[in-house]
């Protein structure tokens, strides 16, 4: 692997020693976890080793300082041990519903696919994959800000369903069994230390540290993902469905007289479509899931190491999908001198993903539509013959992820200094071959290779001072970091190979001959004709240089104030605006120590506030260049063709838009006011935060310069406000050492947003099917209001038209909002919300003796989605027989979904397209409450200590994704992409049953 040697030689750790805050005399943690909880995963069962293990003590001190500092900020600690019992493959799945303010989207249950996270709402309208990418929180693993897939590769695709390449979730490479602590940082007081990449919040993961005493752990589970129960249909059912429309709107009422009626439905004796509908036996399955992790740690108080290996397999319940993860982690601590510590770590992962065989994803990949006159057969025998054709080819998807650090720390008492070198690298391969039997005689081959690389150097110095009277504590910190990011991909595909047996050597890939002379046929097609071979090579780079200073002051264990000033310079900013300066101020007041020092009922009470500004990085380097040229010549199906038959082309970027000068940094102004309380001998913990985030100077494409060939002008000036409340309540409802104990935790986020301003002072703008209006939320749908059906011509108002087309009986009653007797875009209104207004989780843990029972709920409230699957089902006239993406029918076309009775029987032949998606007829309430897990465990530690000399033995069983309470009539209210549309392509999130064991030696 490219640069692998770098990762093996250089390791790194970015340890952020934060404010000493209220350190002395007050080690309690806000919310539902205490300081002792945050270090529990490091100490394990060997607390007695801490005192003599100086390296471990150093690690605990870091966590202690983080814990205290977070009293100034809104952050939440999560228990990795509990999360590790959930059989999820990705970080997003594991964190779903676990922290107030963190919302996770899971558009598909297909293992290894990309999921989205948002902390305290979406900071901008989600118009494309670019905005989605810019809205994600930063994930930091052992001080390494992880690099993810850049959206620039979407530029070569006509549709953005999946990114070119393996399109595997990078965060599926994180093995929770190796994680010691998880923190979700939500405001600038906590996240500013990580710079502008942290403007959307931060998820901090800290790996388990080595210990001096020998420690061996073994964690494993095995389980079953249950296939869903489905109702299959066939051609006869579909004919009966369509017959109702023919009865109402045709003269003779017989579809058999319709010359345009699809052939696959017209022959009732055709067993391929009108016979048995048993395709689900080949599509759905009960799937195996398992995970195993082995870790060993040991050494001395001068040098110790930890090594772990793991393997996780998640098979999907649909379409033969699945993912295998192979993990290895090695970290080492050395203390050659009392004041010198060296720490290094390497974390390597391999992800092999078996992708779906869906037509939509395949046609998006190949940029070619064969005959779409008939979908796959619902009959098992015929569908099996179709699946056999995939065996003639392959679809290999591999992702390698490796990150590492090397850190040198100097500890001179009050003064500390450390320098860290970081490498984070991931690469993806996708090799595809489809036989000609799948594409009407045209075989297809594709090769993709891409990588994302981040290299960092960090330096930090700290100084701590306590006055002689011990009333005042000072902490000073200064730091500098430099980041180099590189994103690159090479992609080539070709049609019409010489035969189905030559599937490799798409291009002559040797730049030189055997004797060292240049190869004149380098990159020349071998198995495919030159004129049907297309090549795409792209690379983008970004550099970030940062400086920061930080000062904290604590007085009398009551008052704490902290100030941070940053200077960040980005290569993606324009030359006149390279640098951005970010101030952050935070303060905390211990009301407990001020007013309730002797109170037994109030154990902890902290009032805190923070305010500040953080810059937002541009995702694309072209914004830094001003007016530009680029390779941007294309045609339908190929948006970008940099060359054809060896002829290069270079034009202005008409489709991507005009970029001028004078574009400043975008930035975020954030305010947070919070209260943390521990009451009733710490049996009740409460954390509540009010926040407001105002995004300023964001870029937006404004339709402009059409006379020069441009579709839009990229301009600054958009502002979006998110505000809301985070609430976390944890209570020990029943507390008994030997009897029944019950602990309950509720976390809720309430969030609302609105558009504050648009570029040029505009008050509204229409961008495709999205309408943005100042003062309105940015996550709403723009739809016509449906009020029923015109049953007769007499009911249609005289002269009523839709965009100039006269309306008739059988057409929808769309509300004429402005009363001009013409239904058009002016009659559309903003309704619903793509993101939930309220979301969160409700976890309950019961314990009796050695038994424990866990029940967890996950909920989204105030969220709506567009049931596009039903719109497509009813709009059969306009979707039949076309060669475009809207006419694609998967084998799941033969699955009964949704409630047909709730839709009026419009005239499907009407030119107003009555079943169009941009109406509230298909807008549904997608609020839901899910019983996400039920787990039962038994602690066999005492038995194991007596008989097997084990320090821990714990067995458990769990059922996950148990049941969903919702009014939504579609497949699953979670299966929706960032646009808020349920297309029906998302694979089901399965119910799983697992048995597991955790063993420590």
Residues 6+ apart with CB under 8 A from 325: 89, 172, 173, 175, 310, 311, 312, 313, 349, 350, 351
Write out the H or E segment, with its range, that includes residue 61.
helix 54-69
Span 918-932, mean pLDDT?
97
The model's pTM is: 0.90
Lowest-pLDDT range, 118-122, 485-489, 496-500? 496-500
What rounded mean pLDDT belongs to the chain?
Answer: 88
Give the Cα separation of 787 and 823 in Å (integer).
Answer: 13
Mean pLDDT of 755-759: 97
CB 383 within 8 A of CB 375: no
- Within 8 A by CB and 6+ apart from 68, the residues are 19, 20, 21, 22, 23, 26, 27, 35
- For helices 35-43 and 54-69, what crossing angle results, to 10°? 150
- Give the number of other CB atoms < 10 A from CB of residue 479: 21
Q: What is the pLDDT of residues 432-458, one digit of tens each?
A: 999 999 988 889 999 999 999 999 999
User: Coil, strand or helix: which one is 761?
Assistant: helix
- b/e code 633-670 from CB counts within 10 Å (16+ = b): bbeeebbbbbeeeeeeeeeebbbbbbbeeebbbbbbbb
Task: Find out whether 428 and 168 touch, Cβ atoms under 8 Å.
Answer: yes
Residue 783: name the closest of 758, 821, 814 by CA.
814
Number of domains in the chain: 3
Q: Using CA atoms, how far apart are residues 429 and 222, in angstroms rounded to an integer?
A: 29
Answer whether residue 269 shows pLDDT above 80.
yes
Query: Apex CA 747: angle with CA 744 and CA 752, to 5°?
Result: 160
The number of residues making up the chain comes to 1001
pLDDT of 645 reads: 55
Per-residue confidence at 23, pLDDT binned at 50, 70, 90? very low
The closest alpha carbon to 14, from 286, 381, 421, belongs to: 421
- Domain containing 652: what range? 627-660
How far is residue 649 from each of residues 328, 507, 628, 629, 643, measured CA to CA in Å? 46, 21, 14, 10, 6
What's the burial of 419, exposed, middle or buried (CB within 10 Å: 0-12/13-18/19+)?
A: middle
Confidence band of 42 (pLDDT split at 50, 70, 90): very low
- For residues 937 and 869, the answer to whether their CB atoms sit within 8 Å is no
Structure tokens at 538: 């792209």
Q: Which residues contact 287 (CB under 8 A, 6 or more apart)?
A: 224, 225, 227, 314, 315, 316, 317, 322, 990
Do the beta carbons of residue 630 and residue 653 sit within 8 Å? Answer: yes
Q: Are 844 and 856 in contact (CB under 8 A)?
A: yes
Tokens of 332: 């080492």
pLDDT, position 5: 34
Q: Assess whether pLDDT exceeds 70 at residue 67.
A: no
Whether 247 is in a domain gets the answer yes
Phi, psi of 84, rounded to the nearest 5 degrees: -70, -15
CB half-sphere exposure, 220, CA atoms < 13 A: 8
- Is the confidence at residue 636, as pLDDT, over 90? no
Looking up tokens 């001395």, which residue turns up?
A: 300
Residue 650 confidence (pLDDT) above 80? no
Q: Of 825, 853, 881, which residue sits at a domain end?
A: 825
> Is there a domain that residue 795 lies in?
yes
The answer to whether 104 touches 115, Cβ cutoff 8 Å, is yes
Q: What is the DSSP string of 847-893?
A: EETTEEEEEEEEEEES-EEE-HHHHHHH-HHHHSS-SSGGG---GGG
Which has the minimum average pLDDT: 41-50, 485-494, 538-547, 968-977? 41-50
Residue that finishes a domain, picked among 796, 825, 854: 825
Pull the structure tokens for residue 257: 């007289």
Contact 972, 986 (CB under 8 A): yes
DSSP state of 389: G
DSSP secondary structure letter of residue 498:
S
Percent of the chain with pLDDT over 90: 73
In a domain, 697, yes or no: no
- The answer to whether position 259 is within a domain reads yes
Model pLDDT for residues 804-853, shown as the tens digit of each residue: 999 999 999 999 999 999 999 999 999 999 999 999 999 999 999 999 99
Q: Which two tokens stand for residue 663?
A: 């574009």
Dihedral of the CA atoms 190, 193, 199, 205 (nearest 10)?
A: -70
922: phi then psi, degrees, rounded to nearest 5: -105, 5
- Distance, in Å, from the CA atom of 688 to the CA atom of 101, rounded to the nearest integer, reads 11
- Which residue pairs, CB below 8 angstroms and at least 24 apart, start in 660-664? 660/626, 660/627, 660/713, 660/714, 660/715, 661/574, 661/576, 661/626, 662/574, 662/576, 663/574, 663/577, 663/623, 663/699, 663/714, 663/715, 663/716, 664/574, 664/577, 664/697, 664/716
pLDDT at residue number 656: 81
Residue whose tokens read 């720490």: 343
DSSP state of 136: P
Q: Could you give the angle at the alpha carbon of 304 between the alpha carbons of 303 and 307, nearest 5°?
A: 150
pLDDT computed for residue 866 by the predictor? 97
Percent helix / strand / coil, the chain, rounded to 5: 20, 45, 40
Helix or strand run (H / E) with residue 280: helix 280-283
Q: Is residue 848 part of a domain?
A: no
**Structural domain contains residue 314:** no
- DSSP conformation letters of 510-577: -SB-TTS-B-TTTT-BSSS-GGGEEEEEEEEEEEEEEEEEEEEEEETTTEEEEEEEEEEEETTS-GGG
Residue 168 domain-assigned?
A: no
The backbone torsions φ and ψ at residue 772, rounded to the nearest 5 degrees and listed phi first, read: -110, 130
Q: Is pLDDT of 649 > 80? A: no
Q: Which residue among 275, 304, 337 closes a domain?
A: 275
Which helix (H) or strand (E) is 607 found in, with range? strand 602-616
CA separation for the pair 193, 190 (Å, rounded): 7
Stretch (H or E) spanning 40: helix 35-43
8 Å CB contact between 550 and 564 = yes
* Choice among 252-266, 293-307, 343-357, 952-966 with the minimum mean pLDDT: 252-266
Q: Please, what is the end-to-end C-alpha distance for the chain in angstroms?
A: 36
In this prediction, residue 1 carries a pLDDT of 41
Helix (H, G, I), strand (E, B) or coil at 132: helix
- Decide: helix, strand or coil at residue 799: coil
CB within 8 A of 508, min separation 6: which ones?
519, 521, 522, 523, 524, 525, 526
* Percentage of residues of the chain with pLDDT beyond 70: 89
**Closest to 346 (Cα-Cα) out of 416, 295, 422:** 422
Q: Is residue 77 part of a domain?
A: no
């Amino acid at each position: 692997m490219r640069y692998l040697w770098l990762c093996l030689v250089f390791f790194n750790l970015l340890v952020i020693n934060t404010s000493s805050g209220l350190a002395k005399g007050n080690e309690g943690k806000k919310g539902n976890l205490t300081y002792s909880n945050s270090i529990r995963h490091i100490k394990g069962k060997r607390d007695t080793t801490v005192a003599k293990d100086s390296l471990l003590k150093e690690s605990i001190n870091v966590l202690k300082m983080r814990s205290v500092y977070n009293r100034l900020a809104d952050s939440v600690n999560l228990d990795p041990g509990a999360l590790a019992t959930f059989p999820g493959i990705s970080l997003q799945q594991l964190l779903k519903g676990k922290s107030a303010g963190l919302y996770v989207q899971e558009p598909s249950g297909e293992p290894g696919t990309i999921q989205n996270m948002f902390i305290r709402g979406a900071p901008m309208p989600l118009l494309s994959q670019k905005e989605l990418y810019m809205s994600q929180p930063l994930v930091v693993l052992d001080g390494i800000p992880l690099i993810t897939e850049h959206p620039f590769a979407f530029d070569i695709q006509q549709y953005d369903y999946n990114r070119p390449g393996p399109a595997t979730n990078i965060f599926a490479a994180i093995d929770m069994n190796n994680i010691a602590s998880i923190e979700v940082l939500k405001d600038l007081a906590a996240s500013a230390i990580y710079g502008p990449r942290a403007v959307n919040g931060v998820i901090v993961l800290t790996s388990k540290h080595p210990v001096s005493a020998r420690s061996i752990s073994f964690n494993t589970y095995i389980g079953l993902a249950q296939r869903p129960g489905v109702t299959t249909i066939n051609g006869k059912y579909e004919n009966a469905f369509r017959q109702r429309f023919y009865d109402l709107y045709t003269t003779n009422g017989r579809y058999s007289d319709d010359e345009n009626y699809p052939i696959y439905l017209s022959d009732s004796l055709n067993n391929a479509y009108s016979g048995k509908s048993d395709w689900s036996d080949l599509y759905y399955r009960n799937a195996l899931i398992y995970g195993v992790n082995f870790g060993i740690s040991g050494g001395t108080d001068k040098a110790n190491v930890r090594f772990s290996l793991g393997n996780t397999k998640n098979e999907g319940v649909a379409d033969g999908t699945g993912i295998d993860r192979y993990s290895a982690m090695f970290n080492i601590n050395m203390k050659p001198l009392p004041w010198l510590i060296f720490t290094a770590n390497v974390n390597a992962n391999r992800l092999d993903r078996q992708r779906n065989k869906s037509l939509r994803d395949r046609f998006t990949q190949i940029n070619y539509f064969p005959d779409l006159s008939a979908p796959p057969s619902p009959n098992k025998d015929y569908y099996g013959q179709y699946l056999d054709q995939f065996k003639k080819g392959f679809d290999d998807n591999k992702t390698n992820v490796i990150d590492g650090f090397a850190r040198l720390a100097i500890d001179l008492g009050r003064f500390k200094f450390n320098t860290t070198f970081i490498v984070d690298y991931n690469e993806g391969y996708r090799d595809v071959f489809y036989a000609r039997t799948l594409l009407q005689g045209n075989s297809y081959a594709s090769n993709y290779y891409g990588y994302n690389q981040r290299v960092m150097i960090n330096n930090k110095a700290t100084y701590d001072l306590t006055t002689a009277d011990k009333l005042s504590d000072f902490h000073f910190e200064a730091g500098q970091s430099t980041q180099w990011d590189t994103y690159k991909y090479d992609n080539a595909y070709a049609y019409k190979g010489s035969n189905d047996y030559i599937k490799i050597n798409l291009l002559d890939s040797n730049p030189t001959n055997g004797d060292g002379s240049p190869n004149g046929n380098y990159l020349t097609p071998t198995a495919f004709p030159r004129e049907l071979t297309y090549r795409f090579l792209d690379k983008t780079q970004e550099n970030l240089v940062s400086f920061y200073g930080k000062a904290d002051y604590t007085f009398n264990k009551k008052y704490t104030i902290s100030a941070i000033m940053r200077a960040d310079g980005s290569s993606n900013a324009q030359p006149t605006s390279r640098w951005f300066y970010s101030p952050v101020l935070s303060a905390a007041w211990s009301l407990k120590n001020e007013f309730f020092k002797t109170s037994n009922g109030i154990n902890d009470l902290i009032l805190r506030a923070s305010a500040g500004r953080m810059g937002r990085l541009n995702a694309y380097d072209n914004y830094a260049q001003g007016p530009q040229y680029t390779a941007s010549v294309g045609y339908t199906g190929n948006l970008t063709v940099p060359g054809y038959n060896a002829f290069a082309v270079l034009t202005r970027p008409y489709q991507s838009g005009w970029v001028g000068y004078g574009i400043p940094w975008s930035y975020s102004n954030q305010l947070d006011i919070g209260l943390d309380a521990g009451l009733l001998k710490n049996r009740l913990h409460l954390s509540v935060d009010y926040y407001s985030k105002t995004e300023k100077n964001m870029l937006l494409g404004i339709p402009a310069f059409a006379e020069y060939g441009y579709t839009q002008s990229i301009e600054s000036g958009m502002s979006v406000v998110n505000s809301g409340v985070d609430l976390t309540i944890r209570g020990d409802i029943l507390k008994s050492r030997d009897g029944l104990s019950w602990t309950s935790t509720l976390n809720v986020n309430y969030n609302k947003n609105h558009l504050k301003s648009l570029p040029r002072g505009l008050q509204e703008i229409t961008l495709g099917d999205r309408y943005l209006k100042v003062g309105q939320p940015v996550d709403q749908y723009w739809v016509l209001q449906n009020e029923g059906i015109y049953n007769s011509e007499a009911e249609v108002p005289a002269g009523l038209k839709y965009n100039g087309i006269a309306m008739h009986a059988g057409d929808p009653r769309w509300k004429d909002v402005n009363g001009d007797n013409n239904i058009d875009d002016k009659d559309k209104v903003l309704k619903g919300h793509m993101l939930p207004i309220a979301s969160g989780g409700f976890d309950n843990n019961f314990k009796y003796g050695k038994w424990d029972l866990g029940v967890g709920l996950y909920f989204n409230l105030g969220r709506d989605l567009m049931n596009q699957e039903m719109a497509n089902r009813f709009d059969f006239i306009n979707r039949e027989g076309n060669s475009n993406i809207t006419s694609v029918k998967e084998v799941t076309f033969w699955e009964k979904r949704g409630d047909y009775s709730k839709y009026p029987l419009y005239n499907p032949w009407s030119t107003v397209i009555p079943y169009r998606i941009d109406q509230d007829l298909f807008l549904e309430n997608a609020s839901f409450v899910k019983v996400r897990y039920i787990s039962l465990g038994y602690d066999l530690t005492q038995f194991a200590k007596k008989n097997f000399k084990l320090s821990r033995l714990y067995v458990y069983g769990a059922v996950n994704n148990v049941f969903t309470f919702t009014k939504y009539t579609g497949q699953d209210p979670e299966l929706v992409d960032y646009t808020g549309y349920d297309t029906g392509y998302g694979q089901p999130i399965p119910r799983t049953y697992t048995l597991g064991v955790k063993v420590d030696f």
